[in-house]
Amino acid sequence: MIILKTQDEIEVMAKASKLVAETLQALKREVRPGVATEELDRLAEEFIRARGGVPAFKGYRNYPKTLCASVNDEVVHGIPSKRVLKEGDIVGLDLGAIVDGFYGDSAVTVPVGAIHSRTTELLRVTEEALYKGIEQAIVGNRLSDISHAI
């Protein structure tokens, strides 16, 4: 069941989502060869808390971190660790934040330094598919419309 939100609730949801987007932008600037994924996690938690948010993933079903960081072909929701990023890697950064009881959640895949042209093409095509799906997320459409567009 979907519970309709008030305008005030929608505005708080937007604040939570904006905090997540700003956190991901800050993390993207820190992704480089030599950085450990646990350092990105530490930065994410500091960023969220400094702006009045609470990390949404940390403690959820005993998840130990703020960020999910998946390197290369690692399955989604990788746990940040001492693993150091290398030139040519890609890293998926997934995080959530809670603001006034409402959640924001998003993910992005970031190249680490220079990456292979095939990897660049993969990132381009998947981003294009994302936006084609978003275009179909409109009143009256079904999930299958979004899936077909992707």
Residues 24, 68, single domain; the answer is: yes
Residues 31, 15, single domain; the answer is: yes
Residues 81, 128, single domain; the answer is: no
Residues 50, 120, single domain; the answer is: no
Domain count, the chain: 2
Residues 77, 136, single domain; the answer is: no
Per-residue pLDDT of the chain (150 residues; tens, 9 = 90+): 889 999 999 999 999 999 999 999 999 999 999 999 999 999 999 999 999 999 999 999 999 999 999 999 998 899 999 999 999 999 999 999 999 999 999 999 999 999 999 999 999 999 999 999 999 999 999 999 999 999
DSSP the chain: -PPPPPHHHHHHHHHHHHHHHHHHHHHHHH--TT-BHHHHHHHHHHHHHHTT-EESSTTGGG---SEEEEETTPPSSPPP-SPBP-TT-EEEEEEEEEETTEEEEEEEEEE-SS--HHHHHHHHHHHHHHHHHHHT-STT--HHHHHHH-
